[in-house]
Structure 1
Amino acid sequence: MNLIGRLVESQRRSLPHPFRLTILAIVAWGFTVGNGMYLMSRFENTPGRSVVAPRHWPSDSVLLHTIKESTLVFFAHPRCPCTFASLEQLERILSKAKVPVQCNIVFLTPPENDLNWTDCANVDTAKSLQSSGIVFDEGDEIRRFGVTTSGHVLLYDATDRLVFSGGITISRGQRGDNIAVQSLIRLLNRQIPTMNAAPVFGCPLIPENSSNGDTASCPRS
């Protein structure tokens, strides 16, 4: 019997019956709340799978790509609530860019879903961002660039070389300044960044162990 069990048993023997039930209920409630908080914290602070994006711009990509300008690609699940914070982070990053940048926001749109799939706040927010083109992708570009998590940002410089890959929040749905945001701003302004990679916190775009090109649904949508 563990420590909590011994304490409960001790209280059960020493207290009148009504008080025993109260103590047991309080202990059970505390355990449930504590376990729930632990699971939520673990969920919010667990990044998506690590991936290796192409080191140079894929020649077969159909995304907007301009020679002599940096190209930023933001991959998103339209129904992922965590991604709304990443889009707000992206808006701040683009507003700080002092040189032209081509931004592609790629939304996953599985073919089996109806038109309401993209009728959501994430898409509406993306449409308001400056210098951005929106692409609804059934998974081709997602697989082409090798990303697996909503909120993943790739930045290619004017020579088509990958200079940043990762997320721009420090946990799921967490807004605010961080090193990844600062590094992207510096890269867009052709300055030396603090980092070139960061973990991505968001919902999966591709299910784990998928080998047939399946797309994932957001667990929180």
Structure 2
Amino acid sequence: MRESFRNVFIALLWLVLVIWGISALWVYSQRAGGFSSVPDFWPEHSSLPAAEGVQLLMFVHPRCPCSRASLGELAVLMRNCQQGLSARVLFISPKGQSMEWVHSSLWAQAKRIPNVSVELDVNAMEARRFGAEVSGATLVYGAQGELLFHGGITASRGHYGDNMGRLAIQQLSMGRETVSETAVFGCPLNDVLCGGGEFTTTSQM
């Protein structure tokens, strides 16, 4: 009898732990970040030249595993928007980190996307200028420098597939009105280890 009770207890405990683990993973996958103050127009003090047409910016943490899906969705987006959209992916490069740290597998993945410029964002200065706080944060500006969209292009952390952000940008590239904001899922851009070791900057914006 005592042995049966112990087996039942162990089985119930295992079930509770499994349910708790699944719930924790689901909550984590749905935890969104985003932006601080997003400029309504292309910042005059940005070192990035404004494009003549519709321009997309994506800020990426080189070590964020969630951003593999963001770059995958960007590749789909660029295939679907072969005209009317230029794109830049900016990888943060914190002071004191080597180029080996920056040139991760995500950098290589971004370089393989046709018609996308891959650049460094030294000490995340441009990310700060554009208000991006989370890896995968994406902004779209129009031909007059006006903000058209800011958000993410995945439905949750590390999730591939159709999502409102990617579909919205496709609509914008065709001159159609659509949603202007979605949630962003990724690691904080100022978290060097995606879990510890923040860096800061004292440089003037």
Q: TM-score scaled by structure 1?
A: 0.82
Contact 1:78 1:123 in 2 (8 A): yes
Q: In the aligned structure 1, how far is the partner of 2:158 from the partner of 2:136?
A: 10
Question: Which residue does the alignment assign to 1:164?
Answer: 149
Structure 2: stretches of 5+ with no match in the other structure: 197-205
Question: Which residue does the alignment assign to 2:194?
Answer: 218
Q: In the aligned structure 1, how far is the partner of 2:193 from the partner of 2:173?
A: 32
Structure 1: stretches of 5+ with no match in the other structure: 1-15, 207-214
Q: In the aligned structure 2, how far is the partner of 1:163 from the partner of 1:136?
A: 24
Deviation of residue 216 (structure 1)?
A: 4.2
Deviation of residue 132 (structure 1)?
A: 1.7
Deviation of residue 116 (structure 1)?
A: 2.4
Cα shift readout 1:89-118 (whole Å, capped 9, x = no counterpart):
111111222434331101112122233212
Structure 1 segment 78-89 matched on structure 2, within 5 A? 78-89=62-73
- Partner SS state of residue 89, structure 2: strand
The number of residue pairs the alignment matches comes to 195
Question: Which residue does the alignment assign to 2:200?
Answer: none
* 1:136 counterpart letter in structure 2: L
Change (3 A) 1:158 1:173: same
Question: Which residue does the alignment assign to 2:37?
Answer: 52
Structure 1 segment 6-155 matched on structure 2, within 5 A? 16-66=1-51, 68-137=52-121, 138-155=123-140
Cα shift readout 1:165-213 (whole Å, capped 9, x = no counterpart):
00011100111112221110111122222x111000111113xxxxxxx
Question: Which residue does the alignment assign to 1:179?
Answer: 164
Q: Identity of paired residues, percent?
A: 29
* 2:193 counterpart letter in structure 1: S
Deviation of residue 49 (structure 1)?
A: 4.2
RMSD between aligned residues: 1.7
Change (3 A) 1:58 1:48: same
* The 10-residue stretch of structure 1 (32-41 or 50-59) with the greater mean CA deviation from structure 2: 50-59
Contact 1:165 1:197 in 2 (8 A): yes
Q: TM-score scaled by structure 2?
A: 0.88
Q: In the aligned structure 2, how far is the partner of 1:71 from the partner of 1:202?
A: 22
Q: In the aligned structure 1, how far is the partner of 2:16 from the partner of 2:27?
A: 16
Contact 2:34 2:137 in 1 (8 A): no
Question: Which residue does the alignment assign to 1:201?
Answer: 185
* 1:40 counterpart letter in structure 2: L
- Partner SS state of residue 17, structure 2: helix
Q: In the aligned structure 2, how far is the partner of 1:127 from the partner of 1:64?
A: 20
